[in-house]
A and B are shown apart, each in its own frame.
Chain A
Amino acid sequence: MALNNSPADNKRPIKKISTGISGLDEVLQGGFPQNRTTLIKGAAGTGKTVLGLEFLYRSALQGEPVIFISFEERADALRENALAAGWDLQALEEKGSFFLWEAKIDHSTETSGEFSIESLLAAIKGKAEQMSCKRILIDAVDVFLRIFQDPVKEKQELYKLHDWLTEQKFTAILTTKKILNQSENTFYYEILDYMADCVILLDLRVIHQVSTRRLRIIKYRGSGFYSNEYPYIITHQGNVIMPITEMKLTHKPLKKKISSGNPDLDILLGGGYYRGSSILISGPTGSGKTTLAATFSHSTCSQGNRMFFISFEESEEAIIEAMVSPGIDLSHLKEKGNLQFHTILPEALVAEEHLWRILQKIEQFNPHHIVVDAISACQRMSTEAAAFDFLVRLINICKQHKLTCLMINQLQSNEYQADISGIGISSIVDTLIRLQYIENNKKQVLRDLLILKSRGIHHSNQHYLYSITDNGIQIDRSGKEKGVD
Protein backbone atom coordinates (compact mmCIF):
# COMPACT_ATOMS: atom_id res chain seq x y z
CA MET A 1 0.00 0.00 0.00
CA ALA A 2 1.49 3.28 -1.09
CA LEU A 3 0.25 6.48 0.43
CA ASN A 4 1.40 9.64 -1.26
CA ASN A 5 1.40 12.69 0.88
CA SER A 6 2.38 16.04 -0.44
CA PRO A 7 4.29 18.30 1.96
CA ALA A 8 1.49 20.88 1.98
CA ASP A 9 -0.81 18.33 3.54
CA ASN A 10 -0.89 19.48 7.09
CA LYS A 11 -0.89 23.16 6.35
CA ARG A 12 -4.00 23.81 4.38
CA PRO A 13 -6.14 20.79 3.76
CA ILE A 14 -8.25 21.24 0.65
CA LYS A 15 -11.99 20.80 0.74
CA LYS A 16 -13.32 17.60 -0.72
CA ILE A 17 -16.70 16.33 -1.71
CA SER A 18 -17.84 12.75 -1.62
CA THR A 19 -17.81 10.99 -4.97
CA GLY A 20 -20.76 8.85 -3.91
CA ILE A 21 -18.92 5.94 -5.48
CA SER A 22 -18.26 2.85 -3.41
CA GLY A 23 -14.60 2.75 -2.40
CA LEU A 24 -13.48 5.82 -4.34
CA ASP A 25 -13.67 8.23 -1.42
CA GLU A 26 -11.26 6.02 0.50
CA VAL A 27 -8.75 5.97 -2.34
CA LEU A 28 -9.07 9.75 -2.71
CA GLN A 29 -9.04 10.18 1.05
CA GLY A 30 -12.34 11.99 1.10
CA GLY A 31 -13.45 12.60 -2.46
CA PHE A 32 -12.99 14.95 -5.40
CA PRO A 33 -11.42 18.36 -4.75
CA GLN A 34 -14.15 20.93 -4.28
CA ASN A 35 -14.30 23.86 -6.72
CA ARG A 36 -11.45 22.27 -8.67
CA THR A 37 -10.98 20.21 -11.78
CA THR A 38 -10.63 16.46 -11.78
CA LEU A 39 -9.54 14.64 -14.89
CA ILE A 40 -10.61 11.08 -15.62
CA LYS A 41 -8.67 9.55 -18.45
CA GLY A 42 -8.47 6.17 -20.07
CA ALA A 43 -8.85 4.43 -23.39
CA ALA A 44 -12.21 3.89 -25.04
CA GLY A 45 -14.45 1.58 -23.08
CA THR A 46 -12.68 1.94 -19.76
CA GLY A 47 -15.74 3.42 -18.06
CA LYS A 48 -14.83 7.11 -17.78
CA THR A 49 -18.35 8.25 -18.55
CA VAL A 50 -19.97 5.83 -16.11
CA LEU A 51 -17.67 6.94 -13.32
CA GLY A 52 -18.45 10.60 -13.95
CA LEU A 53 -22.12 9.83 -14.41
CA GLU A 54 -22.38 8.04 -11.10
CA PHE A 55 -20.89 11.03 -9.31
CA LEU A 56 -23.44 13.32 -10.95
CA TYR A 57 -26.33 10.98 -10.36
CA ARG A 58 -25.56 10.52 -6.67
CA SER A 59 -25.08 14.28 -6.30
CA ALA A 60 -28.41 15.05 -7.95
CA LEU A 61 -30.10 12.41 -5.84
CA GLN A 62 -28.91 14.28 -2.77
CA GLY A 63 -30.50 17.42 -4.15
CA GLU A 64 -27.29 18.89 -5.59
CA PRO A 65 -27.99 20.24 -9.11
CA VAL A 66 -25.65 18.93 -11.81
CA ILE A 67 -24.84 19.48 -15.47
CA PHE A 68 -23.65 16.76 -17.84
CA ILE A 69 -22.21 17.90 -21.15
CA SER A 70 -21.79 14.99 -23.50
CA PHE A 71 -19.66 15.55 -26.57
CA GLU A 72 -19.67 11.96 -27.66
CA GLU A 73 -22.53 9.86 -26.39
CA ARG A 74 -26.14 10.37 -27.27
CA ALA A 75 -28.40 11.57 -24.49
CA ASP A 76 -30.94 8.78 -24.92
CA ALA A 77 -28.17 6.16 -24.86
CA LEU A 78 -26.85 7.68 -21.64
CA ARG A 79 -30.31 7.64 -20.10
CA GLU A 80 -30.77 4.02 -21.11
CA ASN A 81 -27.41 2.92 -19.74
CA ALA A 82 -28.06 4.77 -16.53
CA LEU A 83 -31.44 3.14 -16.16
CA ALA A 84 -29.78 -0.26 -16.51
CA ALA A 85 -27.83 0.62 -13.36
CA GLY A 86 -31.09 1.68 -11.73
CA TRP A 87 -30.36 5.37 -12.11
CA ASP A 88 -33.40 7.23 -13.33
CA LEU A 89 -31.94 10.33 -14.94
CA GLN A 90 -35.20 11.35 -16.50
CA ALA A 91 -36.86 11.70 -13.12
CA LEU A 92 -34.03 13.95 -11.98
CA GLU A 93 -34.17 15.90 -15.23
CA GLU A 94 -37.88 16.48 -14.71
CA LYS A 95 -37.18 17.65 -11.18
CA GLY A 96 -34.68 20.08 -12.62
CA SER A 97 -31.67 18.81 -10.67
CA PHE A 98 -30.02 17.06 -13.63
CA PHE A 99 -29.31 18.75 -16.92
CA LEU A 100 -28.10 16.52 -19.70
CA TRP A 101 -26.81 18.39 -22.72
CA GLU A 102 -26.05 16.31 -25.76
CA ALA A 103 -23.54 18.67 -27.33
CA LYS A 104 -22.52 16.53 -30.24
CA ILE A 105 -20.28 18.05 -32.81
CA ASP A 106 -22.01 18.43 -36.14
CA HIS A 107 -19.48 17.34 -38.69
CA SER A 108 -21.21 19.09 -41.56
CA THR A 109 -20.23 22.37 -39.92
CA GLU A 110 -18.05 24.70 -41.96
CA THR A 111 -15.43 27.00 -40.58
CA SER A 112 -14.30 30.40 -41.71
CA GLY A 113 -11.83 32.29 -39.59
CA GLU A 114 -11.24 32.20 -35.88
CA PHE A 115 -13.63 31.23 -33.11
CA SER A 116 -13.37 30.25 -29.46
CA ILE A 117 -15.20 28.37 -26.71
CA GLU A 118 -17.05 31.40 -25.34
CA SER A 119 -20.41 30.06 -26.37
CA LEU A 120 -19.89 26.89 -24.34
CA LEU A 121 -18.85 28.97 -21.34
CA ALA A 122 -21.87 31.25 -21.73
CA ALA A 123 -24.18 28.26 -21.96
CA ILE A 124 -22.67 26.61 -18.87
CA LYS A 125 -22.79 29.89 -16.96
CA GLY A 126 -26.40 30.61 -17.88
CA LYS A 127 -27.66 27.12 -17.19
CA ALA A 128 -25.66 26.74 -13.98
CA GLU A 129 -26.97 30.04 -12.63
CA GLN A 130 -30.51 29.07 -13.50
CA MET A 131 -30.10 25.74 -11.66
CA SER A 132 -27.76 26.95 -8.87
CA CYS A 133 -25.40 24.23 -10.07
CA LYS A 134 -21.78 23.87 -9.00
CA ARG A 135 -21.03 20.34 -10.21
CA ILE A 136 -20.38 19.63 -13.82
CA LEU A 137 -19.17 16.78 -15.98
CA ILE A 138 -17.62 17.53 -19.34
CA ASP A 139 -17.46 14.20 -21.08
CA ALA A 140 -14.95 13.68 -23.90
CA VAL A 141 -13.42 17.15 -23.83
CA ASP A 142 -10.88 15.90 -26.38
CA VAL A 143 -13.65 15.24 -28.89
CA PHE A 144 -14.91 18.79 -28.44
CA LEU A 145 -11.50 20.41 -28.82
CA ARG A 146 -10.95 18.64 -32.10
CA ILE A 147 -13.21 21.19 -33.79
CA PHE A 148 -10.35 23.66 -33.67
CA GLN A 149 -8.18 21.41 -35.84
CA ASP A 150 -5.15 23.22 -34.54
CA PRO A 151 -3.06 21.84 -31.67
CA VAL A 152 -1.96 25.27 -30.49
CA LYS A 153 -5.51 26.58 -30.44
CA GLU A 154 -6.74 23.42 -28.71
CA LYS A 155 -4.19 24.01 -26.00
CA GLN A 156 -5.18 27.64 -25.57
CA GLU A 157 -8.86 26.84 -25.38
CA LEU A 158 -8.22 24.05 -22.91
CA TYR A 159 -6.37 26.49 -20.66
CA LYS A 160 -9.22 28.92 -21.02
CA LEU A 161 -11.80 26.27 -20.12
CA HIS A 162 -9.86 25.12 -17.10
CA ASP A 163 -9.17 28.64 -15.82
CA TRP A 164 -12.77 29.63 -16.30
CA LEU A 165 -14.13 26.55 -14.50
CA THR A 166 -11.80 27.23 -11.58
CA GLU A 167 -12.61 30.92 -11.53
CA GLN A 168 -16.32 30.11 -11.49
CA LYS A 169 -15.65 27.67 -8.63
CA PHE A 170 -17.09 24.65 -10.35
CA THR A 171 -16.34 21.19 -9.10
CA ALA A 172 -15.65 19.92 -12.58
CA ILE A 173 -14.96 16.44 -13.88
CA LEU A 174 -13.39 16.28 -17.32
CA THR A 175 -12.94 13.05 -19.18
CA THR A 176 -10.57 12.43 -22.02
CA LYS A 177 -9.21 9.53 -23.96
CA LYS A 178 -5.71 8.49 -23.26
CA ILE A 179 -3.95 8.28 -26.56
CA LEU A 180 -0.66 6.51 -26.70
CA ASN A 181 2.12 7.06 -29.18
CA GLN A 182 0.53 9.88 -31.07
CA SER A 183 3.11 12.54 -30.59
CA GLU A 184 0.95 15.07 -32.37
CA ASN A 185 -1.86 14.72 -29.90
CA THR A 186 -0.23 13.73 -26.67
CA PHE A 187 1.00 17.11 -25.60
CA TYR A 188 -2.26 18.63 -24.57
CA TYR A 189 -3.18 15.58 -22.62
CA GLU A 190 -0.01 16.16 -20.69
CA ILE A 191 -1.07 19.75 -20.22
CA LEU A 192 -4.40 18.56 -18.93
CA ASP A 193 -2.60 16.33 -16.44
CA TYR A 194 -0.64 19.33 -15.34
CA MET A 195 -3.63 21.64 -15.04
CA ALA A 196 -6.09 19.39 -13.31
CA ASP A 197 -5.92 19.18 -9.53
CA CYS A 198 -6.75 15.50 -9.47
CA VAL A 199 -6.04 12.94 -12.19
CA ILE A 200 -7.57 9.47 -12.29
CA LEU A 201 -6.47 6.88 -14.80
CA LEU A 202 -8.76 4.03 -15.79
CA ASP A 203 -7.53 0.93 -17.47
CA LEU A 204 -9.16 -2.14 -18.94
CA ARG A 205 -6.96 -5.13 -19.57
CA VAL A 206 -7.65 -8.56 -20.81
CA ILE A 207 -5.72 -11.11 -18.82
CA HIS A 208 -6.27 -14.72 -19.82
CA GLN A 209 -9.41 -13.81 -21.73
CA VAL A 210 -10.85 -12.03 -18.71
CA SER A 211 -11.43 -8.29 -18.70
CA THR A 212 -10.07 -6.61 -15.64
CA ARG A 213 -10.65 -3.00 -14.71
CA ARG A 214 -8.08 -0.98 -12.81
CA LEU A 215 -8.19 2.51 -11.36
CA ARG A 216 -5.20 4.56 -10.34
CA ILE A 217 -4.83 8.06 -8.95
CA ILE A 218 -1.95 9.75 -10.73
CA LYS A 219 -2.07 13.05 -8.96
CA TYR A 220 -3.94 14.94 -6.26
CA ARG A 221 -2.74 18.46 -5.68
CA GLY A 222 -2.66 19.44 -2.04
CA SER A 223 -3.77 16.06 -0.81
CA GLY A 224 -2.51 12.64 0.00
CA PHE A 225 -3.84 9.74 -1.98
CA TYR A 226 -3.34 6.03 -2.39
CA SER A 227 -1.26 5.50 -5.48
CA ASN A 228 -1.78 1.81 -6.00
CA GLU A 229 -3.79 0.33 -8.79
CA TYR A 230 -7.19 -0.68 -7.56
CA PRO A 231 -9.43 -3.21 -9.18
CA TYR A 232 -12.92 -2.01 -9.82
CA ILE A 233 -16.05 -3.35 -11.34
CA ILE A 234 -19.11 -1.85 -12.91
CA THR A 235 -22.01 -3.66 -11.31
CA HIS A 236 -25.72 -3.34 -11.96
CA GLN A 237 -25.68 -0.79 -9.15
CA GLY A 238 -22.78 1.31 -10.32
CA ASN A 239 -19.04 1.46 -9.90
CA VAL A 240 -17.35 -0.39 -7.08
CA ILE A 241 -13.72 0.32 -6.39
CA MET A 242 -11.98 -2.09 -4.11
CA PRO A 243 -9.26 -0.32 -2.25
CA ILE A 244 -6.73 -2.33 -0.32
CA THR A 245 -6.47 0.73 1.88
CA GLU A 246 -8.89 -1.21 4.02
CA MET A 247 -6.33 -3.92 4.31
CA LYS A 248 -4.93 -3.40 7.71
CA LEU A 249 -3.86 -6.81 8.84
CA THR A 250 -3.83 -5.66 12.42
CA HIS A 251 -6.75 -7.67 13.60
CA LYS A 252 -7.65 -8.38 17.15
CA PRO A 253 -6.06 -11.41 18.72
CA LEU A 254 -8.04 -14.58 18.53
CA LYS A 255 -9.66 -15.56 21.78
CA LYS A 256 -12.72 -17.74 21.72
CA LYS A 257 -12.51 -21.32 20.53
CA ILE A 258 -15.23 -23.11 18.66
CA SER A 259 -15.60 -26.78 17.93
CA SER A 260 -14.52 -28.04 14.54
CA GLY A 261 -17.40 -30.49 14.88
CA ASN A 262 -14.94 -33.34 15.16
CA PRO A 263 -14.03 -34.22 18.78
CA ASP A 264 -10.70 -35.77 17.79
CA LEU A 265 -9.65 -32.79 15.73
CA ASP A 266 -10.71 -30.47 18.53
CA ILE A 267 -8.26 -32.22 20.83
CA LEU A 268 -5.43 -31.99 18.26
CA LEU A 269 -6.17 -28.29 17.84
CA GLY A 270 -6.15 -27.73 21.57
CA GLY A 271 -9.89 -27.17 21.75
CA GLY A 272 -10.99 -26.32 18.22
CA TYR A 273 -10.71 -23.50 15.74
CA TYR A 274 -10.44 -19.95 16.94
CA ARG A 275 -13.56 -17.98 16.21
CA GLY A 276 -12.87 -15.41 13.52
CA SER A 277 -9.71 -17.15 12.36
CA SER A 278 -8.83 -18.39 8.90
CA ILE A 279 -8.29 -22.07 8.34
CA LEU A 280 -6.90 -23.77 5.27
CA ILE A 281 -7.44 -27.47 4.66
CA SER A 282 -5.34 -28.87 1.81
CA GLY A 283 -5.50 -32.29 0.31
CA PRO A 284 -6.01 -34.36 -2.83
CA THR A 285 -9.38 -35.50 -4.17
CA GLY A 286 -11.33 -37.75 -1.82
CA SER A 287 -9.18 -36.98 1.22
CA GLY A 288 -12.14 -35.60 3.16
CA LYS A 289 -11.62 -31.85 2.91
CA THR A 290 -15.23 -31.07 2.14
CA THR A 291 -16.26 -33.56 4.83
CA LEU A 292 -14.31 -31.58 7.43
CA ALA A 293 -15.89 -28.37 6.20
CA ALA A 294 -19.34 -29.95 6.31
CA THR A 295 -18.66 -31.32 9.81
CA PHE A 296 -17.84 -27.84 10.98
CA SER A 297 -20.88 -26.41 9.20
CA HIS A 298 -23.17 -29.01 10.73
CA SER A 299 -21.81 -28.48 14.22
CA THR A 300 -22.03 -24.72 14.22
CA CYS A 301 -25.38 -24.49 12.43
CA SER A 302 -26.88 -26.99 14.90
CA GLN A 303 -25.94 -24.54 17.63
CA GLY A 304 -27.96 -21.86 15.88
CA ASN A 305 -25.12 -20.10 14.07
CA ARG A 306 -25.22 -19.15 10.40
CA MET A 307 -22.81 -20.61 7.85
CA PHE A 308 -22.21 -19.23 4.37
CA PHE A 309 -20.90 -22.02 2.14
CA ILE A 310 -19.23 -20.88 -1.08
CA SER A 311 -18.72 -23.62 -3.61
CA PHE A 312 -16.77 -23.12 -6.82
CA GLU A 313 -16.73 -26.84 -7.57
CA GLU A 314 -20.02 -28.53 -6.88
CA SER A 315 -23.69 -27.71 -6.92
CA GLU A 316 -25.60 -27.35 -3.68
CA GLU A 317 -27.42 -30.64 -4.30
CA ALA A 318 -24.16 -32.47 -5.01
CA ILE A 319 -22.61 -31.30 -1.75
CA ILE A 320 -25.65 -32.21 0.33
CA GLU A 321 -25.85 -35.59 -1.40
CA ALA A 322 -22.13 -36.29 -0.95
CA MET A 323 -22.31 -35.59 2.77
CA VAL A 324 -25.02 -38.17 3.36
CA SER A 325 -22.57 -41.04 3.28
CA PRO A 326 -20.28 -39.69 6.03
CA GLY A 327 -23.50 -39.14 8.02
CA ILE A 328 -23.74 -35.37 7.80
CA ASP A 329 -27.24 -34.07 7.21
CA LEU A 330 -26.94 -30.60 5.75
CA SER A 331 -30.37 -30.42 4.14
CA HIS A 332 -32.33 -29.72 7.31
CA LEU A 333 -29.88 -26.97 8.31
CA LYS A 334 -30.40 -25.40 4.96
CA GLU A 335 -34.16 -25.61 5.38
CA LYS A 336 -33.88 -24.08 8.84
CA GLY A 337 -32.04 -21.19 7.24
CA ASN A 338 -28.79 -21.59 9.17
CA LEU A 339 -26.86 -22.80 6.15
CA GLN A 340 -26.75 -20.85 2.92
CA PHE A 341 -24.97 -21.98 -0.20
CA HIS A 342 -23.41 -19.79 -2.85
CA THR A 343 -22.51 -21.94 -5.81
CA ILE A 344 -21.00 -20.38 -8.89
CA LEU A 345 -18.45 -21.33 -11.51
CA PRO A 346 -15.19 -19.39 -11.11
CA GLU A 347 -15.14 -18.72 -14.86
CA ALA A 348 -18.50 -16.98 -14.70
CA LEU A 349 -17.17 -13.66 -13.43
CA VAL A 350 -14.01 -11.69 -12.92
CA ALA A 351 -12.46 -11.93 -9.46
CA GLU A 352 -13.66 -8.49 -8.36
CA GLU A 353 -17.20 -9.27 -9.34
CA HIS A 354 -17.09 -12.58 -7.45
CA LEU A 355 -15.88 -10.70 -4.42
CA TRP A 356 -18.53 -8.05 -4.73
CA ARG A 357 -21.33 -10.60 -4.99
CA ILE A 358 -20.01 -12.55 -2.02
CA LEU A 359 -19.82 -9.34 -0.03
CA GLN A 360 -23.41 -8.49 -0.89
CA LYS A 361 -24.53 -11.92 0.28
CA ILE A 362 -22.48 -11.75 3.45
CA GLU A 363 -24.09 -8.44 4.26
CA GLN A 364 -27.56 -9.85 3.63
CA PHE A 365 -27.13 -13.17 5.39
CA ASN A 366 -24.84 -11.98 8.17
CA PRO A 367 -23.16 -15.35 8.77
CA HIS A 368 -20.88 -16.32 11.64
CA HIS A 369 -18.60 -18.43 9.50
CA ILE A 370 -17.86 -19.06 5.85
CA VAL A 371 -16.49 -21.97 3.84
CA VAL A 372 -14.69 -21.55 0.53
CA ASP A 373 -14.63 -24.76 -1.50
CA ALA A 374 -12.13 -24.61 -3.08
CA ILE A 375 -9.56 -21.87 -3.33
CA SER A 376 -7.70 -23.87 -5.99
CA ALA A 377 -10.66 -23.23 -8.30
CA CYS A 378 -10.21 -19.48 -7.89
CA GLN A 379 -7.36 -19.56 -10.36
CA ARG A 380 -9.95 -20.21 -13.01
CA MET A 381 -11.29 -16.68 -12.45
CA SER A 382 -8.29 -15.54 -14.45
CA THR A 383 -4.75 -15.67 -13.16
CA GLU A 384 -3.11 -16.97 -10.02
CA ALA A 385 -2.35 -13.38 -9.06
CA ALA A 386 -6.02 -12.42 -9.37
CA ALA A 387 -6.99 -15.47 -7.33
CA PHE A 388 -4.49 -14.55 -4.65
CA ASP A 389 -5.80 -11.01 -4.59
CA PHE A 390 -9.37 -12.28 -4.34
CA LEU A 391 -8.52 -14.55 -1.42
CA VAL A 392 -6.53 -11.97 0.50
CA ARG A 393 -9.43 -9.57 0.18
CA LEU A 394 -11.92 -12.23 1.18
CA ILE A 395 -9.89 -13.19 4.24
CA ASN A 396 -9.62 -9.55 5.13
CA ILE A 397 -13.36 -9.06 4.83
CA CYS A 398 -13.86 -12.06 7.12
CA LYS A 399 -11.46 -10.59 9.67
CA GLN A 400 -13.30 -7.29 9.59
CA HIS A 401 -16.64 -8.98 10.05
CA LYS A 402 -15.13 -11.37 12.60
CA LEU A 403 -16.12 -14.39 10.53
CA THR A 404 -14.36 -17.71 10.71
CA CYS A 405 -13.17 -18.52 7.21
CA LEU A 406 -12.54 -22.14 6.40
CA MET A 407 -10.93 -22.63 3.02
CA ILE A 408 -10.34 -25.81 1.11
CA ASN A 409 -7.47 -26.31 -1.27
CA GLN A 410 -7.55 -29.12 -3.76
CA LEU A 411 -4.07 -30.50 -4.37
CA GLN A 412 -3.37 -31.81 -7.84
CA SER A 413 -0.65 -34.13 -6.69
CA ASN A 414 0.19 -36.11 -3.60
CA GLU A 415 3.80 -35.05 -3.78
CA TYR A 416 5.00 -33.62 -0.54
CA GLN A 417 6.61 -30.75 -2.37
CA ALA A 418 3.33 -29.88 -4.00
CA ASP A 419 1.84 -26.54 -3.19
CA ILE A 420 0.82 -27.22 0.35
CA SER A 421 0.03 -23.62 1.01
CA GLY A 422 -2.66 -23.02 -1.54
CA ILE A 423 -1.89 -20.16 -3.91
CA GLY A 424 0.64 -18.78 -1.50
CA ILE A 425 -1.80 -17.72 1.18
CA SER A 426 -0.43 -20.02 3.88
CA SER A 427 1.39 -17.12 5.49
CA ILE A 428 -1.81 -15.25 6.18
CA VAL A 429 -4.00 -18.09 7.40
CA ASP A 430 -4.13 -18.92 11.08
CA THR A 431 -4.48 -22.68 10.83
CA LEU A 432 -3.16 -24.99 8.14
CA ILE A 433 -4.24 -28.61 7.97
CA ARG A 434 -2.87 -30.98 5.40
CA LEU A 435 -4.50 -34.22 4.36
CA GLN A 436 -2.67 -36.74 2.22
CA TYR A 437 -2.52 -40.32 1.09
CA ILE A 438 0.41 -42.39 2.20
CA GLU A 439 1.39 -45.94 1.45
CA ASN A 440 2.57 -48.28 4.16
CA ASN A 441 5.05 -51.12 3.68
CA LYS A 442 2.16 -53.47 3.03
CA LYS A 443 1.27 -51.35 0.01
CA GLN A 444 -1.87 -50.18 1.75
CA VAL A 445 -2.99 -46.63 1.08
CA LEU A 446 -3.67 -44.78 4.29
CA ARG A 447 -5.02 -41.33 5.03
CA ASP A 448 -2.74 -39.00 6.92
CA LEU A 449 -3.56 -35.71 8.68
CA LEU A 450 -1.00 -33.13 9.72
CA ILE A 451 -1.54 -29.79 11.40
CA LEU A 452 1.21 -27.72 9.80
CA LYS A 453 0.41 -24.50 11.50
CA SER A 454 -2.00 -23.24 14.07
CA ARG A 455 -1.52 -19.70 15.22
CA GLY A 456 -2.13 -19.20 18.90
CA ILE A 457 -2.85 -22.86 19.48
CA HIS A 458 -0.56 -25.33 21.10
CA HIS A 459 -1.03 -27.90 18.41
CA SER A 460 0.46 -31.26 17.77
CA ASN A 461 3.10 -31.61 15.07
CA GLN A 462 2.45 -35.27 14.57
CA HIS A 463 1.05 -37.16 11.66
CA TYR A 464 -2.24 -38.90 12.40
CA LEU A 465 -4.02 -41.56 10.49
CA TYR A 466 -7.72 -41.09 9.91
CA SER A 467 -10.57 -42.69 8.10
CA ILE A 468 -13.82 -41.48 6.66
CA THR A 469 -16.66 -43.46 8.21
CA ASP A 470 -20.41 -43.26 8.03
CA ASN A 471 -20.08 -41.22 11.19
CA GLY A 472 -17.74 -38.59 9.81
CA ILE A 473 -13.98 -38.52 10.03
CA GLN A 474 -12.36 -40.66 12.70
CA ILE A 475 -8.83 -39.72 13.68
CA ASP A 476 -6.54 -42.21 15.32
CA ARG A 477 -4.96 -40.09 17.98
CA SER A 478 -2.51 -42.80 19.05
CA GLY A 479 0.03 -41.20 16.75
CA LYS A 480 1.75 -42.08 13.53
CA GLU A 481 1.23 -45.68 12.57
CA LYS A 482 4.03 -48.13 12.90
CA GLY A 483 3.36 -49.49 9.47
CA VAL A 484 4.21 -46.21 7.79
CA ASP A 485 7.60 -45.53 6.26
Chain B
Amino acid sequence: MVVSDHNPDQQKNDQSPSKMDSSKQIKYKMRLFIADHEHNSMIAEKNIKKICSDHLKNNFELQVIDVFEDYTAAIEENILVAPALVIDYPKKVKIFGNLRNKNKVLTVLELI
Protein backbone atom coordinates (compact mmCIF):
# COMPACT_ATOMS: atom_id res chain seq x y z
CA MET B 1 0.00 0.00 0.00
CA VAL B 2 1.55 3.24 -1.04
CA VAL B 3 -0.32 6.25 0.13
CA SER B 4 0.78 9.27 -1.76
CA ASP B 5 -0.51 12.65 -0.81
CA HIS B 6 1.18 14.02 -3.79
CA ASN B 7 1.71 12.03 -6.91
CA PRO B 8 4.07 13.86 -9.26
CA ASP B 9 2.57 12.08 -12.27
CA GLN B 10 -0.75 13.68 -11.57
CA GLN B 11 0.88 17.01 -10.80
CA LYS B 12 -1.72 17.64 -8.10
CA ASN B 13 -3.34 16.26 -5.03
CA ASP B 14 -5.74 17.32 -2.32
CA GLN B 15 -3.07 19.06 -0.25
CA SER B 16 -1.27 20.71 -3.13
CA PRO B 17 -4.00 22.57 -4.88
CA SER B 18 -3.94 22.86 -8.61
CA LYS B 19 -3.60 26.60 -8.56
CA MET B 20 0.10 26.11 -7.71
CA ASP B 21 2.58 24.98 -10.30
CA SER B 22 3.56 22.24 -7.90
CA SER B 23 6.40 20.65 -9.87
CA LYS B 24 8.44 23.85 -9.60
CA GLN B 25 7.27 25.32 -6.35
CA ILE B 26 7.43 22.27 -4.06
CA LYS B 27 9.97 22.98 -1.38
CA TYR B 28 9.70 19.86 0.77
CA LYS B 29 9.78 16.27 -0.38
CA MET B 30 9.28 13.62 2.24
CA ARG B 31 8.58 9.93 2.63
CA LEU B 32 7.16 8.45 5.79
CA PHE B 33 7.90 4.76 6.37
CA ILE B 34 5.27 3.07 8.47
CA ALA B 35 4.74 -0.50 9.64
CA ASP B 36 1.18 -1.38 8.77
CA HIS B 37 -1.13 -0.29 11.59
CA GLU B 38 1.47 -0.33 14.29
CA HIS B 39 0.67 2.23 16.99
CA ASN B 40 3.61 4.60 16.59
CA SER B 41 3.31 4.47 12.82
CA MET B 42 -0.26 5.69 13.05
CA ILE B 43 0.77 8.48 15.38
CA ALA B 44 3.62 9.50 13.10
CA GLU B 45 1.35 9.67 10.09
CA LYS B 46 -1.09 11.85 11.97
CA ASN B 47 1.72 14.06 13.29
CA ILE B 48 3.45 14.64 9.98
CA LYS B 49 0.18 15.38 8.23
CA LYS B 50 -0.62 17.96 10.85
CA ILE B 51 2.82 19.55 10.56
CA CYS B 52 2.42 19.63 6.80
CA SER B 53 -0.93 21.32 6.83
CA ASP B 54 0.03 23.73 9.63
CA HIS B 55 3.48 24.73 8.45
CA LEU B 56 4.24 23.64 4.92
CA LYS B 57 1.04 24.84 3.36
CA ASN B 58 1.01 23.81 -0.27
CA ASN B 59 4.72 23.51 -0.47
CA PHE B 60 5.24 19.79 0.10
CA GLU B 61 5.04 16.31 -1.21
CA LEU B 62 4.53 13.45 1.22
CA GLN B 63 4.58 9.79 0.38
CA VAL B 64 3.54 7.25 2.99
CA ILE B 65 5.14 3.86 2.50
CA ASP B 66 4.10 0.77 4.39
CA VAL B 67 7.25 -1.31 4.73
CA PHE B 68 5.21 -4.49 4.81
CA GLU B 69 3.87 -3.57 1.38
CA ASP B 70 7.06 -2.18 -0.09
CA TYR B 71 10.15 -3.51 1.64
CA THR B 72 12.53 -2.66 -1.22
CA ALA B 73 12.33 1.06 -0.49
CA ALA B 74 13.21 0.31 3.14
CA ILE B 75 16.27 -1.65 2.06
CA GLU B 76 17.36 1.03 -0.39
CA GLU B 77 17.03 3.76 2.21
CA ASN B 78 18.40 1.65 5.07
CA ILE B 79 15.23 2.13 7.04
CA LEU B 80 15.61 -0.34 9.90
CA VAL B 81 13.03 1.13 12.20
CA ALA B 82 9.52 2.40 11.81
CA PRO B 83 8.10 4.93 11.81
CA ALA B 84 10.81 6.84 9.99
CA LEU B 85 10.58 10.06 8.09
CA VAL B 86 12.95 10.56 5.20
CA ILE B 87 13.21 14.13 4.06
CA ASP B 88 14.58 13.99 0.55
CA TYR B 89 14.41 17.68 -0.21
CA PRO B 90 15.60 20.38 0.41
CA LYS B 91 18.19 18.60 2.57
CA LYS B 92 18.42 14.83 3.00
CA VAL B 93 17.72 13.99 6.65
CA LYS B 94 16.11 11.07 8.41
CA ILE B 95 14.02 11.30 11.54
CA PHE B 96 13.17 8.12 13.42
CA GLY B 97 10.16 8.03 15.67
CA ASN B 98 6.51 8.96 15.91
CA LEU B 99 7.40 12.65 15.43
CA ARG B 100 5.68 13.65 18.65
CA ASN B 101 8.25 16.40 19.13
CA LYS B 102 6.93 18.85 16.60
CA ASN B 103 9.69 21.38 17.22
CA LYS B 104 12.34 18.79 16.42
CA VAL B 105 10.75 18.19 13.03
CA LEU B 106 10.41 21.89 12.37
CA THR B 107 14.04 22.41 13.33
CA VAL B 108 15.18 19.73 10.92
CA LEU B 109 13.05 21.35 8.23
CA GLU B 110 14.73 24.63 9.17
CA LEU B 111 11.41 26.27 9.86
CA ILE B 112 12.34 27.41 13.37
Contacts and interface: CB of A to CB of B under 8 A. Distances in A.
B25 interface: no
A109 B92 CA distance: 10
A103 B84 CA distance: 15
A106 B95 contact: no
Contacts of B105: 112
A127 B83 CA distance: 19
A99 to B, nearest CB: 9
A112 B98 contact: yes
Contact of B82 (A101, A109, A110, A119): A119
Interface string A86-120: 00000000000000011111101111111111111
B75 A127 contact: yes
A113 B40 contact: yes
A119 B81 contact: yes
A459 interface: no
A144 B80 contact: yes
Most interface-central of B41, B71, B99, B101 (chain A CB within 10 A): B71
Interface in A368-420: none
B11 interface: no
A112 B82 contact: no
Given A108-B93, A113-B44, A117-B80, A125 B71 contact: yes
A126 to B, nearest CB: 3
A60 to B, nearest CB: 18
Contacts of B97: 111-115
Most interface-central of B41, B78, B99 (chain A CB within 10 A): B78
A206 interface: no
A152 to B, nearest CB: 16
B96 A147 contact: yes
Nearest to B86: A109
Contact of B99 (A101, A113, A118, A120): A113
A320 to B, nearest CB: 62
Contacts, number: 102
Nearest to A99: B75
A305 to B, nearest CB: 60
Q: Is the interface of A mostly helix, strand, loop or mixed?
A: mixed
Given A114-B40, A127-B71, A147-B80, A122 B98 contact: no
B12 interface: no
A147 B81 CA distance: 9
A119 B80 contact: yes
A116 B40 contact: yes
A123 interface: yes
B29 interface: no
A123 B71 contact: yes
A118 B93 contact: no
B100 interface: yes
Nearest to A110: B95
A122 B74 contact: yes
A147 B93 CA distance: 16
Interface string B45-65: 001000000000000000000
B35 A122 contact: yes
Interface in B6-45: 33, 35-36, 38, 40-41, 43-44
A116 B82 contact: yes
B30 to A, nearest CB: 13
Contacts of A104: 78
Interface of A: 101-106, 108-120, 122-123, 125-127, 144, 147
14 contacts: A109-B95, A112-B96, A112-B101, A113-B44, A113-B101, A114-B40, A114-B100, A117-B80, A118-B38, A119-B67, A119-B74, A122-B71, A122-B82, A123-B74
Q: Top 8 closest A-B pairs, CB basis?
A: A126-B71, A118-B35, A113-B98, A113-B97, A113-B100, A122-B67, A119-B82, A112-B101
